[in-house]
Structure 1
Amino acid sequence: MSLVETSEARKARLLALKARKESRSVNGAGLIKNRNFDPESRTLKKHAAANDDVEMVDTVEKNIEGLAEEVIQEDEEKRAEELNVFNIAPKRPNWDLKRETDKKLAKLERRTQEAIHTLIRQRLAAQKGDSDDIVGAMKAQERADKDEEDGSDEE
């Protein structure tokens, strides 16, 4: 059901209830009203205008009368703004590429550094005449360290 149908159904129920209430008061089987007694303050009321017959002006239907149209209009305005290409395009065109590749590059950077260290060790080993493998490079490095220690002890 839409809001309009719901409000119409509610209005019909309220009118039926009001008609039933009036028919009971005409027949004499109506509710007893304490028109001069205020149960909240427990005192007698002063005579004022007939408050029982005044209809409620502030209703839910009147409060939300133009609300649906306003919401639809605001939604259409937001959709029109969303279709603007400048609002969709990122400020930096390659931000998503950087976001995806940063994690992978961190791993690759570590592996690159390890490979560089290995190559340096192999070159050092090759210069000293040892084998090309890592073990040879490490042995050559150990020999170089021992030679430096021995050279500093002789002085």
Structure 2
Amino acid sequence: MSLAAASEARKTRLTALRKRKTGEATDDSAEPAFKPRNFDPETRTIKKHTRDDDVEMQDTVEKDVAELAEEIIQEDKARQAQELDVFNIAPKRPNWDLKREMDKKLSKLERRTQEAIHTLIRQRLAAQKGESDDIVGAMKAEEQQQQDLSDEED
């Protein structure tokens, strides 16, 4: 095959590809470029997918939902028919919910209790040193100082 013949063959293939891409008919035949696979041009409606024996395919989602709804209704009726077992409802430890609610309040009280203990300890230490602001601590500190002075004089 010569170069000229090869180039001519290539050109014809390229033009045929361009025409096929754009949707133009490559042959002079009466075949339309548009093939209605899902659309019926005569009735102007969408075709239903059919099997070989022309049985329409049923919508499986609706069928599944209907079956599931029936199953759920039957299970619900069976549960209602059973007697209510009180032991399955009651918690194993009857005061677990009280403890859960009290934990929050107890944590606040625990913090306040610790603060109160610390202040009491500080007051006692200050009273022992004689540097207290409260009246009882000051009186005890004065008595302590007087005893110390009387012991030194003797």
TM-score category of the 2 structures, normalised to the smaller one: 0.3 to 0.5
Q: Which has the higher contact order (CA 8 A, sep 6+)?
A: 1
TM-score in terms of structure 1 length: 0.39
